[in-house]
Structures are given as structure tokens and as C-alpha cells.
Amino acid sequence: MAGALVGGAFPSGFINVVFDRFLTMDAVNLVLGKKLGPDLVQRLKTALLGAEALVADAEMKQFGNPSVRKWLDHLRDAVYCAEDLLDTVLTKAATRKEESFSWSLSFYINRDRDDMVDKMEGVVRRIEDLGRQKDFLGLEKIPTGSSSWRTPSSSLVKGNVYGREDDQKALVQMLNDNNEYHLSVIAIVGIGGVGKTTLAQWLYNNAEFMEGFDLKAWVCVSEKFEVVETTRNVIKQIHGGTCSLDDFSSLQNALKEELSNKKFFIVLDDVWSNDGDKWSNFMNPFQQNGKKGSIIFLTTREENVASTVQNCQPYFLRKLSEDYCWSVFAENASFPQSNGRAAIEEIGRKIVKKCDGLPLAAETLGRLLRTKHDVEEWNKILMSDIWEFSVEKSKIIPALLISYFHLSPYLKRCFVYCALFPKDFEFVKDVLIFLWMTEDLLPPPKRGESLEEVGCECFDELTSRLLFTKSEGFDDYFVMHDLLHDLAIFLAGDFYCNSEELESLRTLLLFGDFWSPNCNIEAATCEILSKCKYLRVLSLRKLDEVPNLIGELIHLRYLNLSWTDDIKTLPESLCNLCNLQILKLYQCSELTTLPSGLHNLVNLRHLDIRGTSLEEMPRKMSKLNQLHVLSSFVVGKHKDNGIQELGGLVHLHGSVEIKKLENIVDVNKAKRAKIMDKKHIDELCLKWSSGDDLVSSTQKERDILDKLQPQNGLKELKIKGYKGTIFPDWLGNYSYENMTRVSLKSCKNCCMLPSLGQLPSLKSLRIEGLDQLRSIGEEFYKNEGAHHSSHIAAFPSLETLLFDNNITWHVGRCGTYLSRELFLNLGSFK
């Protein structure tokens, strides 16, 4: 399927973005000359400010008044049009600064100036007209305030399960009673937010109950039940996340093999489908395999679903009592240690009563109020008009809506943007932050703060409020509760659409097998791109080549071509995308070159080229001085694509791999890479290509590695294919106190190990393919440069040690010491 989002919720933060980043007279005049004029710019500012003051009231009144909701949609559309026009102005201004003002460029700008001015005048009139409708709609101006959007975040720890002791006992008894059957299919039935998933998680993670089961798996099924996909997901859970099979027959055979002669416990969470034929096909491998006592456990809101799937009586989960709901609320809220505590607790109990026995509502509101210690603030929640809204058809719980309205304007936009994802979609934190960045959803960074750090704070804040939760079984993935996803879609309104509605799209992401089997993918892609001139975010897959048309998407900030296996090159037109911030080419395995003009992408912040076949980097990479993430750098042989080009990339973060280091012929070029100055790199891989290990000077090889010394905060170091005979002194120096992992591989000329024994935090050490290594001496654990007042044991934190040389070698004269102090003190020897 595909998702696309034109807009989102309409907090005031969106209008602020227009002011802060686009509405500058310098940029306007540079492209449009004096045609636009200060009067029209001022009118736009005035109109936007007037609309901003009405938005807060309109957001509240839209639920009881369809006309207000329609007014908000029209205002959103008008402001998006203004932003698109101003973004075009800014992009053209940047182009004029980068290029010489040729006659052809002058002609082009003069030609479209009048058209752009006319469009801007039309947008201003639209916003002014909408502002004049406030009296008719009964809208009032509400100041947005100036309080900080940031609130203290807390660690996300799973809370206690309150009020479910009887349910827990009953379920365990029910499951034990069915232990004599070959396969039991049991369902928990209950309304949304009542705690079905929480109870299932308690069973799934209960060591005492799970004793005796050979394997278990947790799969979220959700509204769209597909037999093939659900079968694949069960196998992936059993295997820990991998399954390369596609056809149904192979998947079922593989599942039968996994289940054979095993007692299993499979959870199918959030089941909606009551299609008997689908369930019959899906259940076939489970019914024919497995040991006696195997269980499939479902959670569902619908009793008719349970009756279709189960072979046992369902278990109906009731709402929590008010007292237990209070326990959930109180655990997530915090109460001031002051004289006002009693008054706040009294209000809190009234709020809990309105939660109507739903622990999700109590949990979410409790988390909302944990940073508020004023009676008046709690009373505002209690007295909110939202409790009175009739929103049954929209599946929105008022308590969740209240939690949304107490987010900052920027957090509102970040939350509603997630309506773009399919329900139960598992997303990665960093990827979502990238999308927020490229859609201009984040607040401006404070001094010394990166935009990525701002995004991380926003994500953690939404997580602390339980709007995002970790996916079951996968620490790196997050999900939204389906009721919160319903809320996001409801708030997005008409600005959330599918791929058939292509005009003015901002985001286009393709999920799963979007293209039909007989589709001409290249032609279809060109058609989409020709219509979507305002795209900020684009993700494409399964292309044989990237069309030149990509260069016309001047608003594009995020381009993901990952797993596009067949592309070998990228068009030069891609280098016209001067706004591009994120370029993901992960696992484009046939890609051998990048466009020669890549250095023109001066706003590029993330370049992911892992899994590609690049032979060298394009020239002048040092001009990309905004790069925060560069997954790898392939050293070239020419003067403008050598190792020294890394010197200008001062903002690099995270993990960096430097390949083809054999192409360095001048030691000074290695020094000019300034690896030591890159304070935010925490993982470094230095790699020489395999091949002839005979070199003209092993001393030069050592000098090159010496000049590539990383900063002392490094956490992980990998060296592969190094052709020197010994390692430089910095490798193993005790000052690398954060180093936790070291890997030395295929350093075939090395005859001596570096001094690694005094690295205080080293947990994992791998030494492979050091063909000339014949003995281990005391140099392995002693560091002559360390100035310690007393003796420190070697490898104090080591947990994993791997030697794999395929040769015979022996422990030297320090062997007794090593045996006693090293091997016997390992936490877990592998």
C-alpha cells in the first residue's frame, strides 16, 4: 500500500514555520524583484497572525461543528499553498547564489515571476477571507502563550497490572484446563483500551506460565488480516526477524517444520477479521503439527471474530473498577508533596471516574498530568468540554483527545504525522525523526543543539506520554496503540489520503508490494513524479533506473531508494535538489557510482550508502559540510576524492566506515582527514581491500594508520586488511575509556598484538586472520604508557573473546599470568 500526507493537525507551530524560515524580504526580492512588494508581504503576515489566533478555538469546536472543521481544512490548504510558494522563492534564491546569473536563468525567472506573484496574491486573499468568517462561525481569538514545548521526560518502564488478579488466575486456569487437547484456540474479547493486550503480554512474559513451552511468538494482526503476511510474521518471530520466503506453500511448509514436535504458544494480537476461509487456511499448519497442549491466544474487540477462530469459550474482559483505574492513574501521575496534594487528588479521582474503567485512558491522562502540580491545571482537565463530545462514530476516546490537546503545537504536528503509517506499523525512531525534520515539523534548535537532537527530544516526550510504545520483541521498533492511531487519522482529516489522490502531496511512502505484477514501474513512477511537484518526502523501490525527472522535485528533502537492487547509477539531475537533507541508498547492491555533482547538495545531512558497490566517492565531498551521518567513505585515487576530503566534514556523528585505504599514497593526506577532530564519531571501521599484502613500506602503512587515530570517546573500532607489521601506539591506549568493542581482522602481516589489556570498558574482542601471529606476549595486556599507582588486572570488563587464526600459535612467557588474570575472569567466555 502507499501512504501520502498533504498536511496534518493545524497548531500554531505550522504558521510559525512560515514566518521563521520563509518570509524574508531578502529572499523574496532576490527572486521576485519588487513585483511582490512590501504591502503584499505585510498583508500575508497580518492574515496569518489573525488566523493563528483563531486556530486554538477552532480545533476545540470542530468536533461539534462540521462547518468549523471545514474552515480548518480550507485554512490548512491555504497556508500550505503559501508555504509551497515561499519555499519555491527560497529555493530559487539559493540557486541564484550558487550559480552565475546567466541570461537563460534571468529569462526563466522573469518568465515565471508574474505567475508566482499572482498566485501569492490569491493565497493572501483566501486567508483574509477565511479570517473574516470568524464571527459567522463563532470563533474567538485565543492567545497561544509562550510556555516552553519541552517538559521533563521520564524513563519508559512498564507499569504494574492493576485489578486483573482474578482475570490472570482465570486465564491461567482456562489454559491449563485445555492442556490435554492437541491445540487450543482461546480469545480475550473486550472494548478498545480495556487492557486486552496488557493481559496477553503478562501471560507471554510470565516465566512460570511459559515453562514447558518450546517456542513462542507474538504477532500483531490488526484490521487487515492477510494469510500469507501473517504466516510470514509468525515465522519471523520464531526466527528472530528473518524470513526470505514468498509463496504461501513454502511458508506453510516452513512453519510446519518449525512447529513439528514442539509445544508452542502463539499470540495473535488485535484481530479483526472473521473471514472463515482465511482463518481455515491460516490455521492448517498449527492444527497438523505441534505437541499436545499447544495454544493460540487471540485478543479482539469483536465477539463474532472469536466465534469464527476459537475452539474454546472466549474470555470477556470487563472494564476496571474505579479504584483500580485510580491505581493506574496514580502510578503514572505524580502528586506534589505540599498542602495542595489533597485538592489535586480529589480532582484526580473525578477525572478517573470520567475514564469509565479504561486503563489506557487513565494511564494516558496520568502521564499527561505527571508534570503539572497546580490545582488549576488539573481542574482544566476535569472541566474540559471534550468530555461532552459525542465521538462514538470516530472511535475516539475523550481522554486521549484531552491528552492530545495538551501537547505543544510542535508535538501535535509530530503526532498527527504518524497517521501516514498503516495501523500497527512498526517504525524506527531515527527514521521518524528524519521525516519530521524534512517536513519542517520540529521547533528551531537552541544554541549548540542539532536538529536531530531536537527530534530525539520530541520523540522521547511523545514516548513518555505513552503515545508511542516499544514493539513487543523488537527494541529498535515502536508502534502506536490502535486507538491512538485512530485519533491521529481523525485529526489529520482530509489531509491524510491514499495514492490515488496525488495533487499537492508532501509525502509519498510506498509500503509492501505497491506495484501490480504487470505494471510498467518506470512509466508509473514518471507519471507520479510529474504530478507531485511539491513533494518533501519520497520513498521508491523496485526501479531499474531513477528517472531524470527526479531533478525537478526542487522541494524534496528526503529521498529513499533503499533496496532498489537494479540501479547502477543515479542521474546527474539529482544534484539539482539543493534542499535535499536525507539520501538513503541502503542495499542498492548494484550501485557503483554516485553523481559527479553530488557536492552541490549543500544541505545534505544524512547519506546512507551501506550495502552498495561504490568504487570511489565523487569529487569535492568536503563541500557537504552539513553532513551528520556518512555511513561509509570509499577512498579514491584522484586529488579531489581522496581521504583528505573527509577533513571538511566536521559534523559527522555515529558510525563511519572508511574503505579502500590502500589508495592512500601520501601520509599527509591521511592526516588531513582530521579523524581525531570528529568528536561525535563513536564507531569507526578502517578497511583495506583484500589482495596482495606485499607493500613497499610497512612503516608507511603504520604511519597512515597512526594518522587515522580517532578521538578518545570512541566506543567501537574495527580494522580489516591492515598491511603493516605492528600497530601504532594509540591502539589500545588506556585513554580510550569508552571503548567496548574491538575487532582486528585479516591483518596478515601483523606479528604482534596491540596493547589492549588496559582498556577499562572493553567487553568484546575479536582477532581473526592474523597469519603472522605466533605468540602472545605481555604486550597484549600491558600498556607501557599507562601511569597507574597500582596494578590493574588485564581486561577488567571483557565478556567475549574470539581468536580465529587457522594457524598454530602459543601463549608466550606471560601465559601463566594470562590464564589466571584473563581467561578465568571473563564474564562469559565464547
Question: What digits encode the pLDDT tens for the residues 340-392?
Answer: 678 888 889 988 988 888 888 888 888 888 878 788 888 888 887 667 665 55
Lowest mean pLDDT among 17-21, 37-41, 228-232, 563-567: 17-21
DSSP structure string for 275-293: -HHHHHHHHHHHHHSS-TT
pLDDT of residue 14: 60
Q: Residue 194 pLDDT > 80, yes or no?
A: yes
Mean pLDDT across the chain = 80
Q: Residue 792 pLDDT > 80, yes or no?
A: no
For the record, the C-alpha cell of 588 comes out as: 542498492
Q: Domain ranges in the chain?
A: 2-137, 167-316, 340-496, 497-766
Q: What is the mean pLDDT of residues 764-776?
A: 86
Task: Give the number of C-alpha atoms closer than 13 A to the C-alpha of residue 120, restricted to the C-beta side.
Answer: 26
Q: Residue 146 pLDDT > 60, yes or no?
A: no
Residue 369, SS3 per DSSP:
helix
Question: What digits encode the pLDDT tens for the residues 383-403?
Answer: 876 676 655 555 677 777 777
Q: Residue 11 pLDDT > 50, yes or no?
A: no
Superfamily of chain region 167-316: P-loop containing nucleotide triphosphate hydrolases (3.40.50.300)
> Which of 310-319, 605-614, 808-817 has the largest mean confidence?
605-614
Q: Is the dihedral of CA 293, 299, 305, 307 positive or negative?
A: positive
DSSP structure string for 108-164: HHHHHHHHHHHHHHHHHHHHHHHHTTHHHHT----------S-------------S-
Question: What digits encode the pLDDT tens for the residues 721-734?
Answer: 999 999 999 998 88
Give percent of the chain above pLDDT 70: 81
Q: Residue 819 pLDDT > 90, yes or no?
A: no
Cα dihedral 149, 152, 158, 164, rounded to 10, equals -80
pLDDT of residue 449: 87
CA dist 333 and 399 (Å) reads 14
Architecture of domain 497-766: Alpha-Beta Horseshoe (3.80)
Q: Which position has the grid cell 608466550?
A: 812
